[in-house]
Amino acid sequence: MSIAAQEAAESARKIFEAVYGASPAGIFAAPGRVNVIGEHTDYNEGFVLPMAIDRYTAVAVTPRLDGLLRVFSGQGSTTITDIPVAGLAPGQRTGWTDYPAGVAWAMIGAGALPADFKGADMAFSSAVPVGSGLSSSAALECSTGLALAALAGKPISPAELARLSQYAENEYAHVPCGPLDQLSSAFGAADAVLQIDTRTFDIKVHPFALAEVGLTLLVMNTKVQHQHGESGYADRRAACERSALLLGVPALRDVSFEDLERAATVLDETDLRRVRHVVTENDRVNRFVSLLQLGPLEGPRLNSAGELLTASHVSLRDDFEVSCAELDIVVDAALRGGAHGARMTGGGFGGCAIALVSTDRLEKVAETVTEALPAAELFTVVADRGAYQVL
């Protein structure tokens, strides 16, 4: 049982009772995530190493009988939004409500909900910062999917939950994300990271109880908002797909270090740098996993892990060009303060960076980051469990 999920659930229950004047039939929660390493590799069928975090989106729900999906968010809503289930279709662009609506649409289309689904009253509460690169949308989608499946009496597996949530975000909300975020939210495990092969969806769980070895993962939210659907994210994905086609491979996951020399004769300079990031980032993920397989991050293993994190940021900054001035500032400050390694996390163009810090250096690192970027919000996270029914 996650204390953080229970707190989010209690908040959702209070919101539901205040808005709808009744107690909910159930409450479901799904976490945000930090991607420890492996950025922009998921839609290239590569490797990622995320962890679900102790920040959750919870939804309190009760079934309806009139075919309406009624949604309310404790983070910004002033009125209930009524969404006719029969009229669900992509392209409506209604803001945050596209995410729960899109999940319902995807589930009906896949048979995970009956075609004549009668609707629900839903109230959301979230501790996952929006636009921060911590997968607030995936947490919203996975909590919604779990809740709707339960109302319909049709259990849904974590794999199906992740797949349909990603499909909803791609096709209904028109955000071209890969599967990383939804898999993290659905499959998360306490005190563990997930080694995910995004081609096969093979998932291996590795211990990541940092506190046991005197380490802390610090999140540094720059407060610079990103919107993947309106940013360079789609351009980066298109460049990767174009390059894979020119190189004659199914995806950039199939490009090796040795292939980069040939790629230089086929691609322009910009696309070559995009490809180089994916190739080197996949290698960094696998090297980080190798360190974890040798035991806790201590001594030389800790130094090597930190170097991989920082190298990832340099690659994202210089080759993939998805960092921004604020992200670079907090990463550099964390390293100056004594962090073992630091990198941006998430799609980029704003949002959060992370730093791996010895707990006895946490105060000094936080002080250095705050001096460098006073607007930054700093908090620590631990790996927590994936989406589940709380009440």
Query: Which residues are identified as catalytic?
Result: 181
* DSSP sequence for 247-298: HT-SSGGG--TTHHHHHHHHS-HHHHHHHHHHHHHHHHHHHHHHHHHHSSS-
What letter does residue 383 receive in the DSSP assignment? B
| SS3 state at 156 | coil
* DSSP sequence for 82-142: EEEGGG--TT---GGGHHHHHHHHHHHHHTSS-TT--EEEEEEEE-SPTTSSS-HHHHHHH
Q: In 23-35, which positions are buried (b, 16+ CB within 10 angstroms) versus exposed (e)?
A: ebbbbbbbbbbbb
* DSSP sequence for 27-63: EEEEEEEEEEE--S-GGGT-EEEEEEEEEEEEEEEEE
Sign of CA pseudo-dihedral 163, 57, 205, 220: positive
Sign of CA pseudo-dihedral 92, 97, 101, 102: positive
Six-digit token string for 315: 């690659």
Query: How far is the C-alpha of 347 from the C-alpha of 345, rounded, in Å?
Result: 7
| SS3 state at 160 | helix
Query: How far is the C-alpha of 68 from the C-alpha of 24, rounded, in Å?
Result: 16
First to last CA, the chain: 11
Query: How far is the C-alpha of 277 from the C-alpha of 389, rounded, in Å?
Result: 38
* Alpha carbon of residue 327 to chain centroid: 17
Query: How far is the C-alpha of 358 from the C-alpha of 74, rounded, in Å?
Result: 35
User: In this structure, are strands 26-37 and 119-126 parallel, antiparallel, or unpaired?
Assistant: unpaired
